Structure 1
């Protein structure tokens, strides 16, 4: 708790300016204690035994997760070293989708930069493309990803194999504003040529099937080009040009951001015996290893949701007009680790 207080003080004393139009998500303080889903760390496995919270908030364990009595990992000399398997849904990062470039609701509503904006973001109900041509229900959002190893910050878990990212504090990991790929559908598609295969009507029909399947079983998320009920993941940009609510738009943009990080080898596979000693490269999004909980504007205090799960189930009632399309989500990632 002392670390959190010091961190908050650093934020408020920071030279970063606070924009009037940039909301404060209020991550720290009473919201962290009362509105954070602590039960969503479960179910967890220790030495092959599954422990569940009374609320059952987090849902099922991903397919292929480690389920062993003992584990082993090579030491520096390559000699196997035995340990205890430990697996859980660890809170690892925060993703915020924003209308105003460089606005950070997670960092108390501060503005990260005051220089020239590379791309303009915003929530637009009708956006003019050419003379006399309009696109309805279009949205463009930027995103920021911040590390959020809350268990390490509170010194509740310090095992290095359970923290392959090596983050022990809240740090800014990625921002989309300087990224030229995030604002340009054509440029992004050129660098991900497989998007031609996954942006046609047949591929989108599979996403409709996944929308129904994910509600029954989150482990059925097998199609990396789909985000279930939220739409298609390609191209990896901040555009979401389809009918839907602001919660649906922000959820899709958040998934696109995570897929882009996987493609750029900035996110990894953390599920399975092979990942218990060292995370594995995963250039495609592995949806089953992630769960998300909204923290702003209305927190999911007792549950989390899978990628693609219908917003009618968890999100529409949480939308607030004053928040616009600014949303903050806590990312829970299932991690298999070997405690030696």
Structure 2
């Protein structure tokens, strides 16, 4: 009888440990209607006319003649601009945990570094996360606008897993991508990030401080090692920025803004921080901000997305909680300037 009871107790302990292990991967399929901050698409410019009912922030305003012309393919048209929701990022503790796909766990047959936190000699907390990069052009996927050359015409897909990247958890190997990190491994360079924090909180980050991720800390190294972990929202936000910068450096993300983007995409190895906004999708969708009584232009507190680098103290409170709220999913918006063709030549 005692042996049977011991066996039953052992089975219960084993089952509880297995269920606890399986439950560490959490996530949610985002509702494209209710979970996306659609107001972040604004402001929209059409032939110089500005449409901005939600008073959203903007950068890379292309002025001048509202008409435009492109040579390949030859076309004439009008200038349009908007913020396109086109990528999604998981920032997770457990390797191969696909938070955007409802929290399923992939099993490729090998291990990868898992999340961890530790104290440095200076008593600051550091952490490590894995990340997943999804192709997610929401406007095209939902077919809200059909046959438009200004939209990225791709389907939803998993494009990049950091678990398969040997550089993602190794600071030494990562220097292959960012050898300029040696220029900024000093106190004055790191102190300059305070100025970038101020700029990002008031508007957009300053590209002059390209080694900074605004209020989140240093952008380098371009991997999952967060040297100054303040909280999960802050740490996951810097991971989003680092992965975006890393893919630009590898030639896997291109620019689409400014005069250069009117006729197509172009390589930009050094990420332009002012060309991106982002919002949280999980664990708590960031679809509306807290009310603001501050008059314009400092009325961004009530908005549901923010530029790279803005302090998470404004919008991140209560968005991290134990167990199901320690992995994160973000939607990325990229600025798009485009020549909307009215007339095409030669086909």
- Please say which structure displays the higher CA radius of gyration: 2
1:280 is displaced (CA, Å) by 1.2
Q: Structure 1 69/159 Cα, relative in aligned 2: closer, same or farther at 3 Å? A: farther
Corresponding residue of 2:327: 326
SS in 1 for 2:94: coil
CA distance in 1, matches of 2:332, 2:64: 23
> Shift of the alpha carbon at 1:323?
3.3
Q: Where does structure 2 lack aligned partners over 5 or more consecutive residues?
A: 1-20, 289-303, 342-347
In structure 2, the partner of 1:42 is: 42
3-state SS of paired residue (1:316): coil
- 2:90, 2:100 within 8 Å by CA — same for their partners in 1? yes
Alignment gaps of 5+ in structure 1: 1-17, 128-132
Runs of 4+ with deviation above 4 angstroms: 133-136
1:186 alignment counterpart: 172
TM-score between both structures, scaled by the size of structure 1: 0.84
| CA distance in 1 between partners of 2:336 and 2:39 (Å) | 16
Q: After TM superposition, give the deviation of residue 159 of structure 1 in Å.
A: 4.3
Matched, 1:202 2:188: yes
- Determine whether 1:315 maps to 2:316: yes
Work out which of the residue numbers 91, 104, 121 in structure 2 matches 1:110: 104
Of 219, 240, 245 in structure 2, the residue corresponding to residue 259 of structure 1 is: 245
Number of residue pairs the alignment of both structures matches:
306
Q: Give the match's secondary structure for 2:196.
A: helix
SS in 1 for 2:226: coil
Change in Cα spacing, 1:81 to 1:150, as seen in structure 2 (3 Å) is same
* Structural mapping, 1:136-215, within 5 Å: 136-164=124-152, 166-167=153-154, 169-215=155-201
Question: How far apart are residue 176 of structure 1 and its match?
Answer: 0.4
* Correspondence for 2:23 among 17, 20, 23: 20
State the shift of 1:160 in Å: 4.6
How far did residue 67 of structure 1 move? Answer: 5.6
Is the 8 Å Cα contact of residues 90 and 333 (structure 1) preserved in structure 2? yes
Q: TM-score scaled to structure 2, two decimals?
A: 0.82
1:287 aligns with 2:287: no
RMSD over aligned Cα atoms? 2.1
Contact kept, 8 Å, 1:45 with 1:67, in 2: the verdict is no
Give how far 1:86 is off: 1.6
